[in-house]
A and B are shown apart, each in its own frame.
Chain A
């Protein structure tokens, strides 16, 4: 039975590379934030409230 090690390593490195690429090509906020903290949201994912 083959170990998952190399595919795992490949995936972790892929995620890291994509993170770095995205980080270097996107604007950076001065603070880490969650979607629920921006605007008037009624759910952790940033979904708006019922009346909107």
Chain B
């Protein structure tokens, strides 16, 4: 965890500038969209602070499992999904104005998640990791983020061609059961998987500190708040896609003529203000929150430019994650966490394929010379 009490390392000027940026976005969101807008800004900033404070990551945790059989992070991730499922499934099932993260099971899901797994190991961060590490001033993520954005725009060009290839449509786990049974079955699957990882870790004499689970619980609460306020689960990568599309348009690339951007949802978000999109609003707020936490704790000062080969790997990783996220309907947050917590099979497939991709990504890390 980051030490917030070491006053001598605080970056007051940075903290002040980021506070002003957060206030500006919060005020604009409030003026146009009222409490919902400002609520999402506050939730985004809170998530940024919590992610930095607990150093809550997916890419390094999965790598720890694959390299040293350390199951701490995976245990936490499945507890997080299980806690969210206990709220998500009943709320989504009983409320027509709230939608879950339920996506088709198709070929692009398998390929995209595999690509994402490779990319997140090369860049050393997943969707949320890129955001909060960028927000904390990580040089690697300063490179990875623009390539993530480029990759996700490329993904929008590819997705319409592969969307229906070997597609079985949306598959919800235990969809024939009533709400209570469906919630319990999904929660048992998620908590059961967490317990398997926990037991495996205990067998290897691994110790689990209670502190690391506090972060999981707080993030689960914030994810549930996002669901209630926005009407859909927290997602990261669509915001990047929209930023890339708007930039492409500004540069004269007719991205609005492509199929993806003529589907109802993307078309509307492209035509309207970037602040009208939940993911964009939350992404920027999360960057601000992470920056505030890093500047206050002194973590910001530790950030220096990594070697050139690591920056090249971050660029390739960002590109792969961007394309992969669009093909597989999200990242660790939007596809794995929100997908499994919504009771969608695609979330589990995403996890498995991204883990396979991580195996490959870790091999490339060794070739590049990562420690």
Residues of A within 8 A of B (CB): 1-5, 7-9, 11-13, 15-16, 18-20, 22-23, 26-50
B33 touches A30 (CB 8 A): yes
| Contact for A34 among B33, B142, B235, B274, CB less than 8 A | B235
Taken residue by residue from 265 to 298, chain B's Cβ proximity to chain A (1 for < 8 Å, 0 otherwise) reads as: 1101101111111111100100110010000000
Across the A-B interface, give the 3 residue pairs with the lowest CB-CB distance, nearest first. A46-B265, A35-B265, A39-B264
Contact B287 A12 (CB under 8 A): yes
* B215 proximal to A (CB < 8 A): no
Flag the segment in B67-75, B159-167, B180-188, B314-322 that touches A: B159-167
**SS class, residues of chain B in contact with chain A:** helix
25 A-B contact pairs sorted by A residue (CB < 8 Å): A8-B137, A12-B21, A16-B21, A16-B24, A28-B272, A29-B268, A31-B33, A32-B33, A33-B231, A34-B238, A35-B269, A36-B265, A38-B268, A39-B263, A39-B264, A43-B103, A45-B159, A45-B329, A46-B263, A46-B264, A46-B269, A48-B163, A49-B169, A50-B104, A50-B167
Complex-state Cα separation, A25 to B233, whole angstroms: 28
B interface residues with partner A (beta carbon < 8 Å): 11, 14, 17-18, 21, 24-25, 28-29, 32-33, 36-37, 40, 99, 101-104, 134, 137-139, 142, 159, 163-164, 167, 169-170, 230-233, 235, 238, 241, 243, 246-247, 260, 263-266, 268-269, 271-281, 284, 287-288, 291, 300-301, 303-305, 326, 329-330, 334-335, 338
Q: Are A32 and B29 in contact (CB under 8 A)?
A: yes
B265–A19 CB distance below 8 A: no
B322 to chain A, nearest CB (A): 13
Known contacts A5-B300, A19-B275; is-contact A41 B169 (Cβ 8 Å): no
State in angstroms the CA–CA spacing of A5 and B36 once bound together: 32
Q: Are A29 and B266 in contact (CB under 8 A)?
A: no
Instruction: Provide the residues of chain B in CB contact with A38, threshold 8 Å.
Output: 264-265, 268
Name B274's contact: one of A3, A23, A31, A44 (CB within 8 Å).
Answer: A23
Given known contacts A12-B287, A29-B272, A35-B269, is B329 in contact with A43 (CB within 8 Å)? Answer: yes
User: Are B284 and A28 within 8 A (Cβ)?
Assistant: no
11 more A-B residue pairs beyond the given contacts A18-B246, A26-B271, A45-B159, with a C-beta to C-beta distance below 8 A: A12-B21, A18-B243, A19-B284, A28-B272, A28-B273, A29-B268, A30-B33, A39-B264, A41-B263, A41-B265, A49-B169
Say which residue of A1, A12, A44 sits within 8 Å of B103 (CB atoms).
Answer: A44
A32:B276 contact, CB within 8 angstroms: yes
Q: Are B104 and A42 in contact (CB under 8 A)?
A: yes
